[in-house]
């Protein structure tokens, strides 16, 4: 039968379940980012290479927690499951109670180590066990012994992590410090009684356990839920104030709590005569309860009991469980005190089948959904996510800046640097030519003086050439090279490598972070000033100097070459000393004029070639070195910027990918909120009795932005037969509407 409640469950599922997709995807990308960061750290890479800012452990843990809660909520509503939570200290009898409630031996639960996680027990045709971790991973087991061994090992690992955290003074949170920790064990076994009631038994970690961390997180899954809670305490501990410190917290979480006092009806007391007599637990357990209510019950517990939200049952759970497991044995006599357990089971069943529970189920499901949506909204605006958005904006600005700088590099590469250095050459040329002109005039005067002075000494022709003329030409060459180098350096040192660049090129150089000053300084060192020196050739040879023949030369018919050799010495080594009187007699004004004429021819060529060579070797080499350095640096800068841009883009893509999932989560949360509000308006004022009546024919209420545009095919919910049979007709008097 399709009821109004089942119609609500279908609409609720269609509206809330789609949240799981963006939550899972967002958690997935954060997990991937975390693994990438761990791998990069293992490989010794710098933090920026894997975007350490993407590691959002708190957000990731909260996402996984919300995924777990939303999944549990939608499954609970879709299957109309009644969660029955079991609380109590360790060894209080919770597992025995689970055996009794399930009507089956739940060894799979009772044999597990006291691991601090929730254990869900539900009916299934086949035996399966599912272990869920805080990181969202799930493992399936079919063998109870394998499950036991797995949890036992996990218990040891968890204990080690907990001790390490305590040693560091940290408040241990498995979601942050050990995501591999087990969060939930889902036990599904054939248990017919659970199938008939639709109940899911949830065993909570034992109170007062050393591993009590995260207790609030675990029980938070059931705040604002329609589930009831059962608190199990041994009669020996009933009057311990410490036990009920934690119990009173449960009063704020659950609309109905059953307090089961676990008796040991086999106990005996010592009589005055020394004999053993049945204990009070065996003879009159209600007196224990009366004493507790009168002497030990706190005011909050008494108020809850007076309101009917708290009921107390003294039960020998061991005997009750034994009787329940042997109900098929007709010869089995009812156990002593069995009526108390039957009363407890009847009240529990009546509550789960009541319209009060159904109204609470509907209203609390909506409130729970609203709470989870609030948590999702808070998470989307988490400070770590906001910081990620800010860092993403900074990365985008960095990408734009790097792109701007690279465009500047490309414009600089297209600029005609050779022409700019030619302009520098042209700028320096006038002063160089003026210096060359003045130096050549001075050199000419000194050369004339050297020739005049030579004719007045006994020095050889070789001395004139090697000791006077060639050194003077070398001096001219060196002076000009020094002047050019100094002039170039004076032009370069002030900055910009001596160039007058357009303002836009200067801006591009600044944007590309290229230093023209350093390029100029480095290029000056590449001039190789010495390469411009040492090019002086022999300016004068003896064969160009006429020699007058003496009378004997004529008589002996000596040739001009022979006469020259007798005067100067060998042509290749004219080192013969020539007295002054002989120079005057044999050389005279004709030789002097010939020497000057030859020197004039040599000077004209030498001065011109020296100026050209100095330009080429100094200014030309400087320009070549500077242009090469500029092109090299531009190419290197382009490659560097390309790499930096790609790295930033890669990081930006990862950042935006994560943020896109959070944006999708925000959108889906807003859509789901609209749907929940619509559900609240549609069903919030429903009369309780109508929830189990047949739903009106026609379309389901339209919800805003339902994924796919329509709701899924109707489910066939479990409605207890007793509730359906006892349900009033639509004309019956209405009760108060649900809040």
Model confidence at 720: pLDDT above 60: no
* Lowest-pLDDT range of 101-115, 221-235, 571-585: 101-115
* Lowest-pLDDT range of 280-289, 380-389, 627-636: 280-289
The whole-number average pLDDT for the span 359-368 is: 82
Last residue of a domain, one of 659, 674, 706: 659
Last residue of a domain, one of 659, 688, 705: 659
Q: Which two tokens stand for residue 680?
A: 């609240």
The whole-number average pLDDT for the span 205-222 is: 56
Q: CA–CA separation, 185 vs 127, rounded Å?
A: 13
Token pair 């029955």: residue = 84
The whole-number average pLDDT for the span 25-51 is: 70
Q: CA–CA separation, 381 vs 397, rounded Å?
A: 22
The whole-number average pLDDT for the span 437-447 is: 92
What DSSP designation does 334 have? Answer: P
Per-residue pLDDT at 454: 93
Per-residue pLDDT at 638: 95
Are 29 and 164 found together in one domain?
yes
Q: Tell me how many domains the chain contains.
A: 2
| 92 within some domain | yes
Per-residue pLDDT at 227: 62
Are 295 and 246 found together in one domain?
yes
The whole-number average pLDDT for the span 94-120 is: 75
Q: CA–CA separation, 41 vs 28, rounded Å?
A: 20
Q: CA–CA separation, 14 vs 703, rounded Å?
A: 9
Are 362 and 274 found together in one domain?
yes
What DSSP designation does 664 have? Answer: H
The whole-number average pLDDT for the span 662-684 is: 91
Are 333 and 261 found together in one domain?
yes
CB–CB of 133/179 below 8 Å? yes
| 701 within some domain | no
The whole-number average pLDDT for the span 350-371 is: 82
Are 424 and 301 found together in one domain?
no
> What is the separation of C-alpha 648 from the centre of its chain, rounded to a whole number of angstroms?
13
Dihedral angle over CA of 393, 394, 396, 397, nearest 10:
120
CA-only gyration radius of the chain, Å: 52
Are 519 and 375 found together in one domain?
no
The three-state secondary structure class of 30 is helix
| 577 within some domain | no
Are 192 and 334 found together in one domain?
yes
Q: Is the pTM of this model over 0.95?
A: no
Per-residue pLDDT at 708: 35
Are 421 and 363 found together in one domain?
no
| 711 within some domain | no
Per-residue pLDDT at 467: 92
Confidence band for 734, pLDDT divided at 50, 70 and 90 = very low
Per-residue pLDDT at 101: 84
The whole-number average pLDDT for the span 628-656 is: 93
> Pairing state of beta strands 199-203 and 118-123?
antiparallel
pLDDT in tens, 509-519: 999 988 888 88
SS3 content of the chain, % helix, strand, coil (to 5): 65, 10, 25
Which helix (H) or strand (E) element contains residue 379? helix 355-380
Model confidence at 441: pLDDT above 60: yes
pLDDT in tens, 66-75: 898 898 889 8
The whole-number average pLDDT for the span 58-77 is: 88
Confidence band for 442, pLDDT divided at 50, 70 and 90 = very high
CB–CB of 264/317 below 8 Å? no
Query: Residue 203 phi/psi, 5° resolution?
Result: -90, 125
Per-residue pLDDT at 284: 77
Q: CA–CA separation, 426 vs 429, rounded Å?
A: 5
Contacts with 394 (C-beta within 8 Å, 6 or more apart), sequence order: none
Confidence band for 207, pLDDT divided at 50, 70 and 90 = low
Give ∠ CA 99-101-102 in degrees, rounded to 5.
Answer: 65
CB–CB of 225/83 below 8 Å? yes
**What DSSP string describes 277-304?**
EE-HHHH-HHHHHHHIIIII--HHHHHH
> Pairing state of beta strands 257-262 and 199-203?
unpaired
Distances (CA, A) of 328 to 189, 221, 319, 332: 19, 37, 15, 9
Proportion of the chain above pLDDT 90, given as a percent? 23
| 563 within some domain | no
A 10 A CB-CB count for 524 gives 21
Across 14-23, 258-267, 282-291, which has the greatest mean pLDDT? 14-23
| 394 within some domain | no
Q: CA–CA separation, 282 vs 278, rounded Å?
A: 6
Last residue of a domain, one of 361, 381, 401: 381
Model confidence at 130: pLDDT above 70: yes
C-alpha count within 13 angstroms, C-beta hemisphere, residue 296: 15
| 712 within some domain | no
Range of the domain at 313: 4-381
pLDDT in tens, 133-192: 888 888 999 888 888 888 888 888 888 888 888 888 887 888 778 888 888 888 888 876
Q: CA–CA separation, 18 vs 12, rounded Å?
A: 10
Which helix (H) or strand (E) element contains residue 492? helix 470-492
Are 340 and 254 found together in one domain?
yes
Average pLDDT value over all residues in the chain: 81
Across 174-183, 317-326, 468-477, which has the greatest mean pLDDT? 468-477
Per-residue pLDDT at 295: 82
Model confidence at 722: pLDDT above 60: no
The whole-number average pLDDT for the span 11-20 is: 94
Per-residue pLDDT at 137: 85
Kindly report the CATH number assigned to the domain that includes residue 116. Answer: 3.40.50.300
Are 307 and 431 found together in one domain?
no
Per-residue pLDDT at 634: 94
Q: CA–CA separation, 111 vs 530, rounded Å?
A: 95
Model confidence at 528: pLDDT above 80: no
Confidence band for 711, pLDDT divided at 50, 70 and 90 = very low
Are 166 and 204 found together in one domain?
yes
What DSSP designation does 205 have? Answer: P
Q: Where are the alpha helices (DSSP H) in 464-558?
A: 470-492, 503-512, 516-525, 551-555
Residues present in the chain in total: 739
Are 115 and 218 found together in one domain?
yes
| 400 within some domain | no
Confidence band for 213, pLDDT divided at 50, 70 and 90 = low
């Amino acid at each position: 039968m399709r009821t109004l409640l089942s119609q609500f469950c279908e609409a609720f599922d269609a509206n809330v379940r789609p949240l799981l997709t963006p939550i899972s995807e967002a958690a997935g990308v954060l997990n991937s980012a975390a693994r990438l960061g761990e791998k990069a750290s293992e490989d010794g890479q710098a933090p920026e290479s894997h975007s350490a800012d993407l590691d959002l452990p708190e957000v990731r843990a909260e996402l996984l927690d919300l995924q777990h809660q939303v999944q549990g909520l939608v499954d609970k509503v879709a299957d109309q499951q009644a969660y029955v939570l079991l609380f109590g200290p360790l060894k209080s009898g919770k597992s025995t109670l689970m055996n009794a409630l399930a009507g089956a031996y739940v060894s799979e639960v009772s044999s597990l180590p006291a691991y601090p996680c929730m254990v869900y027990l539900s009916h299934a045709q086949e035996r399966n066990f599912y272990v869920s971790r805080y990181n969202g991973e799930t493992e399936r087991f079919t063998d109870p012994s394998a499950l036991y061994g797995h949890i036992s090992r996990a218990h040891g690992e968890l204990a080690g992590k907990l001790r390490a955290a305590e040693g560091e003074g940290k408040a241990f949170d498995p979601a942050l410090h050990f995501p591999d920790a087990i969060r939930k064990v889902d036990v599904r076994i054939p248990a017919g009684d659970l199938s008939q009631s639709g109940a899911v038994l949830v065993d909570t970690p034992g109170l007062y356990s050393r591993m009590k961390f995260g207790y609030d997180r675990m029980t938070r899954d059931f705040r604002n839920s329609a589930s009831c809670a059962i608190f199990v305490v041994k009669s020996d501990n009933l009057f311990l104030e410490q036990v009920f410190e934690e119990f009173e917290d449960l009063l704020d979480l659950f609309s109905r709590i059953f307090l089961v006092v676990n008796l040991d009806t086999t106990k005996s007391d010592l009589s005055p005569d020394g004999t053993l007599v049945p204990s009070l637990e065996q003879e009159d357990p209600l007196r224990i309860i009366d004493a507790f209510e009168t002497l030990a019950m706190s005011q909050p517990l008494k108020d809850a009991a007076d309101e009917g939200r708290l009921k107390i049952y003294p039960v020998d759970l061991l005997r009750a469980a034994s009787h329940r497991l042997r109900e098929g044995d007709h010869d089995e006599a009812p156990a002593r005190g069995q009526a108390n357990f039957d009363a407890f089971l009847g009240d529990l069943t009546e509550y789960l089948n009541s319209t009060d529970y159904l109204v609470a189920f509907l209203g609390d499901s909506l409130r729970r959904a609203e709470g989870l949506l609030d948590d999702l909204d808070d998470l989307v605006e988490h400070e770590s996510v906001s910081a990620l958005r800010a860092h993403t904006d900074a990365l985008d600005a960095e990408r734009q800046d790097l792109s701007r700088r690279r465009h500047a590099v490309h414009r600089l590469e297209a600029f005609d640097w050779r022409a700019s250095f030619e302009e520098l050459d042209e700028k320096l040329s006038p002063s160089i030519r003026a210096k060359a002109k003045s130096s050549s005039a001075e050199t000419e005067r000194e050369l004339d003086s050297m020739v005049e002075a030579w004719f007045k000494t006994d020095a050889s022709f070789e001395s004139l050439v090697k000791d006077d003329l060639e050194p003077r030409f070398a001096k001219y060459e060196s002076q000009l090279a020094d002047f050019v180098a100094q002039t170039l350096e004076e032009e370069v040192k002030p900055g910009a490598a001596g160039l007058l660049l357009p303002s836009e090129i200067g801006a591009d150089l600044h944007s590309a972070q290229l230093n023209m000053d350093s390029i100029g300084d480095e290029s000056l060192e590449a001039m190789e000033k010495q390469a411009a020196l040492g090019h002086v050739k022999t300016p004068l040879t003896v064969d160009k100097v006429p020699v007058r023949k003496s009378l004997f030369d004529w008589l002996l018919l000596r040739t001009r070459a022979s006469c020259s050799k007798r005067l100067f010495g060998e042509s290749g080594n004219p080192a013969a000393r020539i007295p002054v009187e002989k120079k005057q007699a044999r050389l005279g004004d004709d030789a002097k004029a010939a020497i000057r004429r030859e020197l004039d021819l040599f000077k004209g060529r030498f001065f011109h070639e020296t100026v050209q060579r100095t330009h080429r070797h100094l200014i030309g080499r400087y320009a070549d070195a500077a242009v090469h350095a500029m092109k090299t640096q531009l190419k290197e800068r382009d490659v560097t910027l390309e790499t930096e841009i790609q790295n930033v883009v890669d990081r930006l893509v990862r950042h935006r990918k994560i943020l896109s999932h959070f944006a999708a989560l925000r959108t889906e949360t807003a859509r789901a909120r609209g749907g929940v509000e619509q559900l609240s308006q549609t069903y919030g004022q429903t009369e309780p009795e109508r929830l189990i009546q047949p739903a009106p024919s026609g379309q389901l209420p339209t919800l805003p932005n339902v994924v796919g545009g329509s709701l899924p095919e109707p489910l066939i919910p479990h409605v207890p037969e007793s509730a359906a049979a006892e349900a009033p007709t639509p004309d019956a008097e209405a009760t108060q509407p649900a809040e």
